[in-house]
């Protein structure tokens, strides 16, 4: 990882990450850490973390936790969110969501075509079907 990537990551951490994390915790009603595997992101994909990765994830949880049953299911079943950026080639077929051992895992391509990442509705539907 080069200097440009490090600077971009630090800017996101300073300007956006804390606010999104705080909002997610309030929506869910507990600490739910978002763990971004920064090493998987290149400079192009880093710039999409606030709007495509964090915002859509928080929006999905807002929908799932909009009622008591959804909020309880999330609180009981999810302890952390892990995000990995995948290669752009075939990202539409290779992207994945999974929920296992308290971890909601998002593997998507954030720097490429929109077919490589998940919308908030995609994540909401997945969570509601798997909680």
Q: 123 pLDDT band (50/70/90 cuts)? A: very high
Neighbour-count burial for 51-71, b at 16+ CB within 10 Å, e otherwise = ebbbbbbbbbbbbbbeeeebb
Q: What are phi and psi of 98, to 5 degrees?
A: -150, 155
Give the residue from 52, 37, 64, 39 showing the smallest Cα distance to 113: 52
Q: 8 pLDDT band (50/70/90 cuts)? A: very high
Q: 70 pLDDT band (50/70/90 cuts)? A: very high
pLDDT at 114: 84
The whole model's pTM is what?
Answer: 0.94
Mean pLDDT of the chain: 95
Helix (H, G, I), strand (E, B) or coil at 20: helix
């Amino acid at each position: 990882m080069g200097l440009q990537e490090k600077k971009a990551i630090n800017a996101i951490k300073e300007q956006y990450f804390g606010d999104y994390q705080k909002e997610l915790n309030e929506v869910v009603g507990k600490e739910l850490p978002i763990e971004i595997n920064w090493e998987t992101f290149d400079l192009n994909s880093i710039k999409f973390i606030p709007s495509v990765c964090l915002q859509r994830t928080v929006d999905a949880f807002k929908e799932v936790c909009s009622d008591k049953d959804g909020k309880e299911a999330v609180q009981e079943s999810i302890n952390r969110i892990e995000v990995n950026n995948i290669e752009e080639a075939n990202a539409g077929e290779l992207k994945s969501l999974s929920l296992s051992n308290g971890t909601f895992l998002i593997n998507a391509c954030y720097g490429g075509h929109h077919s490589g990442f998940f919308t908030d509705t995609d994540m909401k539907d997945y969570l509601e079907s798997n909680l």
